[in-house]
Structure 1
Amino acid sequence: MSDTPPDRLDADPRSKFHDAAAFERGIGIRFNGKERFDVEEYCVSEGWVRVPAGKARDRRGNPMTLKLKGEVVAYYREAEAGGA
């Protein structure tokens, strides 16, 4: 497996952008220079993340999300922990 995380990743297993192997390895997201732990989906090349909008849910029980645009940096957490 490469040391570069996928360009786009979604936490929803029904999505075509879901990659279980990447989640097992552990993904970290830095958005506009700050660590984010609540990211549901991201795209590095397009520069956006989706985060939950509070406790709001849609009619199927999934969290409502907001799309935030900015600088997105994705990395594997185990690579960070092994180096420090």
Structure 2
Amino acid sequence: MNDTSTLPPLPDRLSIDPRSPHHVPAVFEHDVGIKLNDKERMDVEEYCISEGWIKVPAGKAVDRKGNPMLIKLKGKIDVFYK
């Protein structure tokens, strides 16, 4: 079980893409869980708690650089350490 007092605080906005300005490497040293409308999602690429959205891949579609095309889903966002 993780001791939450030693874990870094979860930011309001976080991205798994290392090129993003919202990428925080210290958070990814631990398992992070994300719930959208009380259902846990495992495919989240980026989230914003204050605006209430997550970005997930849109099927197998990729852009010209090979990155997955993302769609924005809105709802109640809960972020936590597992």
TM-score between both structures, scaled by the size of structure 1: 0.86
| 5+ long unaligned stretches in structure 2 | 1-5
Cα deviation 1:28-78 (Å, max 9, x = unaligned): 10101100000000001110000000011000000000001100000111x
| 1:19, distance to aligned residue in structure 2 (A) | 0.7
Aligned residue in 2 for 1:33: 38
| 1:3, distance to aligned residue in structure 2 (A) | 6.2
Seq. identity, %: 58
Matches within 5 A, 1:9-20: 9-20=14-25
Total equivalences in the alignment: 77
Alpha-carbon contact 1:4-1:75 (below 8 Å) kept: no
| 5+ long unaligned stretches in structure 1 | 78-84
Point out the structure with the larger helix share.
1
TM-score between both structures, scaled by the size of structure 2: 0.88
